[in-house]
Structure 1
Amino acid sequence: MKKFIILFLFITTSLTAQNSTNSELSLEECIQIAIDNNIAYQRSELQFESEELNFKGTRSQVLPSINGGYSYAMNKGRSIDPYTNDVIDQQFSFSNASLRLNARLFNGFELRNSIRRDRFKMKAAEAEKEAAKQQLILDVTLAYFQVLNSEDLLQLTNIRLQATENQMNRIAHLAEEGSGNPADFTDIQGQFSNDQSAVVAAENQLKQAKLDLAQLLNTRLEIEVKEFQVLPEIKPYQLSAEEVYEESLENLEVFEGQRLRLQAAEEDVSVARSLFAPEISLFAQMNTNYSSLASLLNETGSQVVETGQFININGVSYAVQVNQTQFSQQEIPYFNQLNNNLSSVAGISVNIPILNGFQAKREVSLKKIGQEDARLALENTRNEYFQAIKQAHNDMKAAYKDYFFLKDQVTAYQESYRVNEIRFQNGVSNMVEYIISKNNLDRARVNLANAKYEFLIRTKILDYYRGII
């Protein structure tokens, strides 16, 4: 990826601000505020963080899963003694503990392909975040220049209004002295109203331009921008539309993001194909338990006891006695039982897909459709950008030509207005000729200012397509 460069670097190193206050913002300050506050850009950052977490989650699946379990309970009534398996009818407590391990050894490379897919998605989200940053800087720059353009137009309309007002005052003074044509005063009054309306429209246009810039900066504060003493030189653009397009394919992050999305879709097809492969897993488990009924019998000695049987010897009956061992019951401690009752199992399981309702086939087909859609999206973006670059290049060339045509036009109308103003003031020409000459000059000045900013804006758009942002 190409390194992100700040737009208008050549402007900021060569231009100086004039008559600015602490509340006025430079282009760089506006861009930084937008990067910090713009909601759309912040959402692109969140999307990248989400894809990054998804990738880390998928990668962690290579580790085996280990889970433990524990339970402790009290039992009342008829039940099975978990220690002796005898049927009993008494209260007792019992406990179970277990530890389980599962590890996938092979699953048709599903995990490997899933990791590669999610890595592509993460990188695509990162490229899309940078593309959003590029677009944001372009939008702020264009909005900034639109404010400057609107300020210039407002200044022109105010100058126009002031000139009309001066002429109106002069004619009014002549009318008071009883000289001049009375219709001249009403004509100039109409022109003055027209110029006042133009000032109102220019003021509203400036307010709207500032609102558009404030929206990009996500602020409700009143925006004031710094004016430049020197604007970039109006000179021919050196690259053709085709050359700009070729550079855009290499430098614009929007293309990089879609290329990565296409690679992710290709890996998604490989993930789906793993449904056809068997899955081999390793499993192991340890179990143990405890019962409050479990006990040990300890030998405490012996004693002679009668058995209740008799033996007859020579007609004499003798009771039969035996030597009986004596025992005492001892409860088995909790942890001793857990240790004594420990059992374990380990093995390998194989899950072989035989028939699953053609789910695997459908899944592969769906992922192939997604892959083709990603390819078409990339192709469509290329076509859209090619058309947009051609249009911007054509507009730039038209604005360049218009600028010099209008510059000559302003020069011509300035001379015409100068002559007509002198002729009108000396009573040689009438008010209609004067107003027509004045309006021609005013319109030419406005058109020249618009052409100048139109050319600068189109060149900046072309620079954006080249990745010079």
Structure 2
Amino acid sequence: MKPTRTPLSRLAAAGAGAALLAVAALPAAAQQTPPVQPPAGSLPVAAPGGPYTLRRAVDVAQQNNLTVRQQQLTTQNTDAILRQSRAALLPSANANATQNWNYGTSVDPLTFQFQDQTIRTNNFSVSSQLTLFSGFQLRNTIKRNVLDYEAGLNDIEKSKNDIALNVASSYLQLVLAQEIVQANQARVNSSQQQVSRTEKLLKAGSVAESNLLDGQAQQASDELNVITAQNQVAFFKLQLAQLLNLNSPTGFEIEVPVLADPDEETVLIGNPDGTYQTAQGLMPEVKAAELRTQSALRTVEIARGTYYPRLTFGGGLFSGYSSSRATPVLTGDSTLTPFPIFAINPATGKPEMVPGVFAGFYQPETRPLPDKFIKQVRSNYGKQLQFTLSIPILNGFQARTNVQRSEIGVKQAELRAEQTRLTLRQNIQQAYADAIAAQRRYSAAKRQTQALSTAYRNAEIRFNNGLLNGTDFNIAKNNLYGAESSMIQAKYEFIFRRKVLEFYEGRPLDL
């Protein structure tokens, strides 16, 4: 019998993202593919003791997932931007201090005199500025950043939903693979018993030797199927351990839940619209898309704020020191300074200097004494208040272009939100259709299995009595095994689709 592999499902559309449910029914050897890489993981951790339930596996995966952690850091960065935008409403205050050396001819920055010497100067200032009006840009920026932060929180939840659905898919793959191992082991036991009976019948001369050879060939095929199924268990266990970011699948076990058969469940009646209405209010990707649309509208208001005047108020304190500044100090000495005497000439009526007659007085002598640092700082102390009004007139149409671009951004955000809702609706519709199909296929496969079981028992009786050759008997046996595999496949596809629908309705993923 040629090894085959029957895929359980197509791409499973799920909540915040599509989760691949590539579960396979394994009646024979299956072609393996490399394990799906987990979407995240920090440093791998050791597997805690005890078997994992689905709920526990989801919790561990969400805790270790690097995509979730990366999104958390991104949201923290958005929160920092929000805090900064709120702080922009506060006045700014800055203190400055400088020290300079001027060599050669230069202008003293405090006395404003030319000096031909080395001058050391210090300048000290404290300034503050407050924006009084800026076209409401600051307040609109805060509102936009609040929306971006809330959207980031929903992005975190979306990342958690993605990993939860991936874990649920891999978990059910592993449960299915383990069940297939048990089914194939039962087939090996049946083949061994059949070979043993055939050997006895051959010794008694009741059957031909070809029947024994056919039975041995079937037993070898069944044993190969067991090995293949066991390899699949190891494969899916590794895949799930990687999603949980564990060091190794060694010692990692899951708790096999007791799952009801699909025909024991209530017949699923498609109501995707009701589920969509519920999911639309619950799914974080929808909320994030709506919040980003509102954020884009705030961006438009921010861009329009550049049309308005900008009014700011500022004030400052300043002082300084110059090494060239000095105060004259009396030395105690004086210098006689002569001055000529003038008198009115009667002839001309004009003042004329009287020859040989002078007047004089003593001028006190002084010497420059450099001013002390503290004295200069106190005497040079000054204050300043300033209002600044900036009125935009023409800036290369930058304001108009920014408004137009932000309006386009609103339309893009609206389209993205609409696409998110459309994808959600389509995923729910597809999940409903697949769940109903799987439930129907299970019922049909179960009836087929029951009919083929009866046919197999009749073929076994005829084979044991030498009325049926080994080839026809093996065909009847493999037909039964194929029907059983289809039934198991349909069962787990239905379970996964139903869990996806429950997830859309706000119920946690659990078995």
Shorter chain as denominator, the TM-score bin is: 0.7 to 0.9
Q: Is 2:59 the partner of 1:32?
A: yes
For 1:285-324, what aligned pairs fall within 5 Å after superposition?
A: 285-299=316-330, 302-303=332-333, 305-307=335-337, 322-324=361-363
2:464 matched residue in structure 1 = 425
Q: Give the letter for the 2:275 counterpart.
A: V
Per-residue deviation, 1:370: 0.9
Higher helix share: 1
1:380 matched residue in structure 2 = 419
Match among 298, 306, 317 for residue 267 of structure 1: 298
1:81 matched residue in structure 2 = 108
Q: Alpha carbons of 1:304 and 1:255: their partners in 2 closer, same or farther (altered >3 Å)?
A: closer
Comparing 252-261 and 405-414, the one that deviates more: 405-414
Q: Alpha carbons of 1:446 and 1:53: their partners in 2 closer, same or farther (altered >3 Å)?
A: same
CA contact (8 A) 2:270 2:436 kept: no
Q: Please give the alpha-carbon distance, in whole angstroms, between the structure 2 residues aligned to 1:374 and 1:94.
A: 57
1:6 matched residue in structure 2 = none
Comparing 54-63 and 237-246, the one that deviates more: 237-246
Match among 152, 160, 165 for residue 125 of structure 1: 152
1:53 matched residue in structure 2 = 80
Q: Please give the alpha-carbon distance, in whole angstroms, between the structure 1 residues aligned to 2:260 and 2:363.
A: 117
Q: Give the letter for the 1:418 counterpart.
A: R
1:236 matched residue in structure 2 = 267
CA contact (8 A) 1:297 1:330 kept: yes
Comparing 288-297 and 75-84, the one that deviates more: 75-84
Per-residue deviation, 1:417: 2.3
Q: Deviations over 1:221-240 (max 9, x none)?
A: 10421112455863334661
Q: Deviations over 1:400-435 (max 9, x none)?
A: 122222223223323332332233223233223321
CA contact (8 A) 1:392 1:461 kept: yes
1:344 matched residue in structure 2 = 383
1:355 matched residue in structure 2 = 394
Per-residue deviation, 1:329: 4.1
CA contact (8 A) 2:126 2:316 kept: yes
Match among 473, 485, 495 for residue 456 of structure 1: 495
Q: Please give the alpha-carbon distance, in whole angstroms, between the structure 2 residues aligned to 1:340 and 1:273.
A: 48
Q: Is 2:314 the partner of 1:283?
A: yes
Q: Alpha carbons of 1:309 and 1:404: their partners in 2 closer, same or farther (altered >3 Å)?
A: closer
CA contact (8 A) 1:252 1:466 kept: no
Partner SS state of residue 103, structure 1: strand
CA contact (8 A) 1:83 1:293 kept: no
1:465 matched residue in structure 2 = 504
CA contact (8 A) 2:336 2:363 kept: no
Partner SS state of residue 88, structure 2: helix
Q: Deviations over 1:34-58 (max 9, x none)?
A: 1111122112212211211111111
Q: Give the letter for the 2:64 counterpart.
A: N
Q: Please give the alpha-carbon distance, in whole angstroms, between the structure 2 residues aligned to 1:107 and 1:50.
A: 25
Q: Alpha carbons of 1:84 and 1:108: their partners in 2 closer, same or farther (altered >3 Å)?
A: closer
Q: Please give the alpha-carbon distance, in whole angstroms, between the structure 1 residues aligned to 2:154 and 2:384.
A: 48
1:162 matched residue in structure 2 = 189
TM-score, normalization by structure 2: 0.80
CA contact (8 A) 1:306 1:319 kept: no
Q: Alpha carbons of 1:54 and 1:425: their partners in 2 closer, same or farther (altered >3 Å)?
A: same
Per-residue deviation, 1:389: 1.0
Partner SS state of residue 228, structure 1: coil
CA contact (8 A) 1:147 1:206 kept: yes
1:4 matched residue in structure 2 = none
Q: Is 2:82 the partner of 1:43?
A: no
CA contact (8 A) 2:198 2:464 kept: no
- The number of residue pairs the alignment matches comes to 443
Comparing 244-253 and 401-410, the one that deviates more: 401-410
Q: Deviations over 1:96-149 (max 9, x none)?
A: 112222211111111111111111111011111112212222221222111111
1:224 matched residue in structure 2 = 253
Q: Please give the alpha-carbon distance, in whole angstroms, between the structure 1 residues aligned to 2:334 and 2:75.
A: 86
Q: Is 2:112 the partner of 1:112?
A: no
Partner SS state of residue 31, structure 1: helix
Q: Give the letter for the 2:373 counterpart.
A: Y
1:203 matched residue in structure 2 = 230
CA contact (8 A) 1:306 1:320 kept: no
Match among 390, 410, 413 for residue 429 of structure 2: 390
Partner SS state of residue 290, structure 1: strand
Q: Please give the alpha-carbon distance, in whole angstroms, between the structure 2 residues aligned to 1:355 and 1:320.
A: 71
The answer for unaligned runs of 5 or more in structure 2 is 1-47, 342-355
Seq. identity, %: 30
The answer for unaligned runs of 5 or more in structure 1 is 1-20, 312-316
Q: Is 2:484 the partner of 1:445?
A: yes
Q: Is 2:281 the partner of 1:254?
A: no
Per-residue deviation, 1:76: 2.5
Match among 113, 117, 130 for residue 90 of structure 1: 117
Q: Is 2:129 the partner of 1:102?
A: yes
1:436 matched residue in structure 2 = 475
Per-residue deviation, 1:332: 2.3
1:67 matched residue in structure 2 = 94
TM-score, normalization by structure 1: 0.87
Q: Alpha carbons of 1:153 and 1:319: their partners in 2 closer, same or farther (altered >3 Å)?
A: same
Comparing 165-174 and 414-423, the one that deviates more: 165-174
Q: Please give the alpha-carbon distance, in whole angstroms, between the structure 2 residues aligned to 1:333 and 1:357.
A: 53
Q: Please give the alpha-carbon distance, in whole angstroms, between the structure 2 residues aligned to 1:155 and 1:170.
A: 23
Q: Please give the alpha-carbon distance, in whole angstroms, between the structure 2 residues aligned to 1:306 and 1:320.
A: 10
Q: Please give the alpha-carbon distance, in whole angstroms, between the structure 1 residues aligned to 2:173 and 2:391.
A: 66
Per-residue deviation, 1:190: 2.7
Comparing 139-148 and 84-93, the one that deviates more: 84-93
Q: Is 2:437 the partner of 1:408?
A: no
**Structure 1 segments of 4 or more deviating over 6 A?**
308-311, 317-321
CA contact (8 A) 2:214 2:470 kept: yes
Q: Please give the alpha-carbon distance, in whole angstroms, between the structure 1 residues aligned to 2:208 and 2:137.
A: 94
State the superposition RMSD in angstroms: 2.6
Comparing 255-264 and 44-53, the one that deviates more: 44-53
Q: Deviations over 1:333-369 (max 9, x none)?
A: 2232122112222221111111112111111111111
Comparing 355-364 and 193-202, the one that deviates more: 193-202
CA contact (8 A) 1:37 1:218 kept: yes
CA contact (8 A) 1:39 1:218 kept: no
